[in-house]
Amino acid sequence: MRILIVKTSALGDIVHTFPAISYLKSKYPDAIIDWVVEGPCSSIVRAHPDIANVHILNTRMWRKLWHNKDTRKEIGAFYRNLRLYEYDILFDFQGNTKSGLVTLIARSKVKVGFGRKNISEWPNLLATNRKYTAPLDFNVLAENLHLVQSYFGDFSIPTMPLVLQASLHNQNTCELHELELFKSSQAQTPIIMICPGSNWVNKQLSEAILAEFLLLLQSYLNCTFVVIYGTKEEQIVAQSLKQHLLHCYVPGLLPLPLLQNFMQKMDLIISVDSLPLHLAGTTSVPTYSIFGPSAASKYMPLGHRHGSFQATCPYGVVFERRCPSLRTCKTGACLKSLSPLELFQAFKMWYSGIDSTISKT
């Protein structure tokens, strides 16, 4: 069986699709699964052990340089490669106009997509011939899983673990070696990864609030922190946090597949709603996530070992997925005015109620 996945972006949303891939592989171990994705997001798809071929879109560049001869050649090559195989099933997880065009071009008699209530742009409905609507209160991971399970009429739970294929080079090998040495020196303390960054400023805690929360946490658990970052600005915050905390390690910038491998060595991962959180959800490590202008019920990892904190909007805005003012709110007050003590007390209540692998000293 040959299956095509259409999920072009963004990185976090792509990770949300991984449980559906695990389900497909558990049902058809010999299936060949290909994927259509935007170039900037392709590395994490290429690292997925169950993906055979990756078809690369570069729509941003194509729109900008559509008149360029090389661009037209690249578009032509994408078209020919996509139509090289006839797929037994195509799953369009994106649900917008762009993915609908890809779905129309691809060769498959069975093109599966979401119903009207789940898609973001109605023209997508014209591209699929099997449509399924996930319950609106479903978590996004459950939505994607529901799509493939609805087609097969089988709602068994996939249990296949996912370990991305990380290619090691000298610098990355040194980072992992340093982590092992660091872990050895902190052998009796839980090691907690902190992921404070996000593409959206309004999803981030202020440095002061985060530092105070971590100090309370360190006092409670006698733990060691590993703080990661994805940008230069986040690196500055990570290094500043290191100055506030007793035991803290800041590794270098790691490729996403290697970061996932890195996460497997942690005892707990604490993150705001961001790509690292979704990546952490593919591991066996417990997570605690902090949500403000997005809904924990929609975006937190699934499972009893994952906890979350949902901040409330001081302006009374209510939403199902994301706050309509996520990009425009000038204060970000749901998280920026959060009490560190309130956040710590919520974490402590969650922590005391789970069978955690972390041992409190």
Q: Domains in the chain and their CATH numbers?
A: 2-152 (3.40.50.2000), 170-352 (3.40.50.2000)
Per-residue pLDDT averaged across 218-228, rounded? 93
Other Cβ atoms closer than 10 A to 267: 18
Residue 300 pLDDT greater than 90, yes or no: yes
pLDDT above 70: percentage of residues in the chain: 91
Residue 169 pLDDT greater than 60, yes or no: no
pTM: 0.89
What is d(CA 197, CA 205) in angstroms, rounded to the nearest whole number? 9
Residue 341 pLDDT greater than 70, yes or no: yes
Per-residue pLDDT averaged across 76-96, rounded? 97
For residue 202, the model assigns a pLDDT of: 96
Which of 298, 290, 271 is closest to 335 using CA atoms? Answer: 290
Burial of 205-228, coded b for 16+ CB within 10 Å and e otherwise, reads bbeebbbbbbbbbbeebebbbbbb
- What is the radius of gyration, based on Cα positions, of the chain? 21
For residue 361, the model assigns a pLDDT of: 37
User: Confidence class of residue 287 from pLDDT cuts 50, 70 and 90?
Assistant: very high
Question: Mean pLDDT in the chain?
Answer: 91
Structural contact between residues 82 and 55, judged by C-beta atoms closer than 8 angstroms = yes
Q: Which residue has the higher pLDDT, 293 or 173?
A: 293
Helix (H) or strand (E) holding 235: helix 232-244
What is d(CA 105, CA 83) in angstroms, rounded to the nearest whole number? 7
User: Confidence class of residue 345 from pLDDT cuts 50, 70 and 90?
Assistant: very high
Q: How many helices (H) and strands (E) does the chain have?
A: 15, 14
- Token digits of residue 356: 């955690």
What is d(CA 6, CA 341) in angstroms, rounded to the nearest whole number? 43
Backbone angles phi, psi at 317, to 5 degrees: -75, 130
**Residue holding tokens 């009207």?**
116
For residue 74, the model assigns a pLDDT of: 93
Pairing of strands 191-195, 224-227: parallel
How far out from the chain centre does Cα 67 lie?
Answer: 35
What is d(CA 235, CA 250) in angstroms, rounded to the nearest whole number? 9
For residue 255, the model assigns a pLDDT of: 86
Burial of 243 (0-12, 13-18, 19+ CB in 10 A): exposed
What is d(CA 13, CA 157) in angstroms, rounded to the nearest whole number? 20
For residue 244, the model assigns a pLDDT of: 87
User: Confidence class of residue 177 from pLDDT cuts 50, 70 and 90?
Assistant: low
For residue 102, the model assigns a pLDDT of: 98
